[in-house]
Amino acid sequence: MQVDIRKLSIDDYDELATAMQNAYPDIEDNVWAKRNIQKLTSIFPEGQLCITVDGKLVAAALSIVVQYEIFGDQHTYDEITGQESFNTHSNIGNTLYGIEVFVDPEYRTLRLGRRLYDARKELCEIKNLKSIIIGGRIPNYHLYSNELTPREYIKKVRLKEIYDPVLSFQLSNNFSPLKILKGYLKGDVESEEYAVLLQWNNIYYTSKKNTMQDSVIRLGLVQWQMRHFKDIDAFYQQVEFFVDVLGSYESDFCVFPELFNTPLLAQFNHMHEREAMEKLAEMTEKIRNKISEYAVSYNVNIISGSMPIMEDGKMFNASYLCHRDGKIDEYRKIHITPNERRYYGMQGGNDIKVIDTDCGKIGIVICYDVEFPELPRILADQGMKILFVPYLTDTQNAYTRVRNCAAARAIENECYVAITGCVGNLPGVSNMDIQFGQAAVFTPSDFAFPSNATKGEATPNTEMTLIVDVDLNLLKELHYNGAVQVMNDRRKDLYETVNLLNK
């Protein structure tokens, strides 16, 4: 007999489905959909494990990594898995969460479950995760529910007076019960929808710098004055000044406005607008790398406003998130204004995704993007808690569109929205003559937040910084206990917002 443990692959799906049907013969919808397995093996391949016996798949364990502080001990299976979308998975999370483990009954005498749990523990240690958390079913509870409370049942299982195939196994694998969860898994008749929250602690865990130890995140917004620079070094000096200031105030994010580097267009003002912007695009990689150096040096995540880039003869408006650990993420503006098309021939990007940071999941949209509510809604469904909107507006009415739409996005998506733009005038640069802006941070509108749903705002049309603390726990409280609960109360039976690229 040959027993092997390895990563699960989407090519294993047919055998996986058969093994699940054998493991759960009395449960309706007892097989994971293929799209679920595709998603899990794509976002976290090392967390999806299976065991084969003589080449036949007979057992599996599925897991995700979560930033556990966001969910806390009182959660349901739907909440922790994002209703099985797994958008709750975070590459910089601190907890391995077990979402499934099963063994084909024919092979349960081989103690394959223990092998899967040992492999999970090893993975937890390798990835330096704090713990493994499981919401464990108690499938034999229905046999005793008339005479025992869940707490009494668990006590008897711990004393081995009652055997429960799931809880007894988890206790024997050194998992400690934390609390009883009611309504954990809808439709779990055997457990009467109760579950036991269990934890295994990684004794080798070492705390990581800059992870979300608490829920308060400090945002630093730069209201950038348009001015002429004698050369690119003078531009860098001004950028570094603001990064230094916000870093010294221990900001988690430093945010610059859309196209904040366009003063460098002055040297190309004799050219056609498109040609001049192409020349500016040639500088983008160098500027991005310099800003990334600042992010590491000053220990602050920098959203580098936006800058033009060229790819295969096409021009895009791109924003970069330069993480303080040196990683760089890119977002390309999706909705292009008539002005950007007319003067620069810009095209829209196609990628809609949240970005994992050491402060949780964030989203970036650029200026005009925020006026399309579907886009931030998709990001919110992926777990976004803070939406950053660098913008560039020339007139007050243009700014008002961005501001009011950003405030609406905060309410309808139960998130924070931070906006910042350029101010002042830039004579001598075509199509960049005047600017109007006012940085602000918007909140949902409920009792835990300011009565005008504005956490902070800068003085209009003045170069300055705006520093604001936002508390992610308030968003969680709103989601479950708010006067209105927008994300929960949507009529998904009537409509939905879908990212067609990931459908």
Q: Are strands 176-182 and 131-137 parallel, antiparallel or unpaired?
A: unpaired
pTM of the predicted protein model: 0.71
Q: What are the residues facing 434 on neighbouring strands?
A: 425
In a domain, 208, yes or no: no
The domain that contains 185 carries what CATH number?
Answer: 3.40.630.30
Q: Identify whether residues 197 and 228 lie together within a single domain.
A: no
Per-residue confidence band for 261, with pLDDT thresholds at 50, 70 and 90: very high
- Token pair for residue 101? 């483990």
- What pLDDT band is residue 409 in, cutting at 50, 70 and 90? very high
- For residue 220, the model assigns a pLDDT of 97
pLDDT at 503: 54
Number of domains into which the chain is organized = 2
Average pLDDT over residues 94-98: 94
End of a domain among 178, 201, 224?
201
Enter the tokens of residue 190. 């055997």
Q: Which amino acid is at 270?
A: H
Instruction: Give the DSSP letter of residue 52.
Output: E
Token look-up 């890119």 returns 330
Question: Domain check: are 275 and 135 in the same one?
Answer: no
- Do both 240 and 388 map to the same domain? yes
Residue 434 lies in a domain: yes
pLDDT at 208 over 70: no
Q: Is 285 within the bounds of a domain?
A: yes
Which residues touch 29 (CB under 8 Å, ≥6 apart)?
A: 187
What sign does the dihedral 230-233-235-240 (CA atoms) show?
negative
End-to-end CA gap in the chain: 41
For 389-454, give the secondary structure using H, E and C.
EEECCCCHHHHHHHHHHHHHHHHHHCCEEEEEEEEEECCCCCCCCEECCCCEEECCCCCCCCCCCE
DSSP code per residue over 268-334: GTTS-HHHHHHHHHTTHHHHHHHHHHHHHHTT-EEE---EEEEETTEEEEEEEEE-TTS-EEEEE--
Task: Answer whether residue 209 is part of any domain.
Answer: no
Q: How long is the chain?
A: 503
Maximum separation of any 2 CA atoms in the chain, in Å: 87
What tens digit of pLDDT does each residue of 333-343 get? 999 999 999 99
Same domain as 280, residue 193: no
Same domain, 83 and 191: yes
User: Would you state the structure tokens that stand for residue 72, as one six-digit string?
Assistant: 């806390």
Q: Average pLDDT over the chain, rounded to whole? A: 92
Whether 455 and 416 have beta carbons less than 8 Å apart is answered as: yes
In a domain, 371, yes or no: yes
With respect to residue 210, please indicate whether it lies within any of the assigned structural domains. Answer: no
- Going by pLDDT thresholds of 50, 70 and 90, the confidence category of residue 210 is very low
pLDDT in tens, 112-167: 999 999 999 999 999 999 999 999 999 999 999 999 999 999 999 999 999 999 99
Same-domain status, 172 and 275: no
Alpha-carbon distance 180 to 278, whole Å? 60
For position 24, what pLDDT does the model report? 83
Same domain, yes or no: 154 and 58: yes
SS3 of residue 11 by DSSP: helix
- Final residue of a structural domain among 161, 178, 201: 201
Q: Are residues 279 and 336 in the same domain?
A: yes
Residue 321 and residue 407 in one domain: yes
Range of the domain at 143: 3-201
Claim to verify: residue 48 and residue 77 sit in the same structural domain? yes
Contacts of 176 (CB under 8 A, 6+ apart): 198, 199, 200
Say if residue 419 is in the same domain as residue 467: yes
**How many CB atoms are located within 10 Å of the residue 464 CB?**
14
Q: What are phi and psi of 253, to 5 degrees?
A: -135, 140
Do the domain assignments include residue 206? no
- Which residues belong to the active site? 258, 333, 367
The CATH number of residue 349's host domain is 3.60.110.10
Q: What is the pLDDT of residue 420?
A: 98
Residue 180 and residue 231 in one domain: no
Condensed to tens digits (0 to 9), the pLDDT of residues 485-496 reads 999 899 988 998
Tell whether 342 is covered by a domain. Answer: yes
Q: How far is CA 502 from CA 39, 351, 381, in A?
A: 10, 10, 13
- Boundary (domain end) residue, out of 137, 172, 201: 201
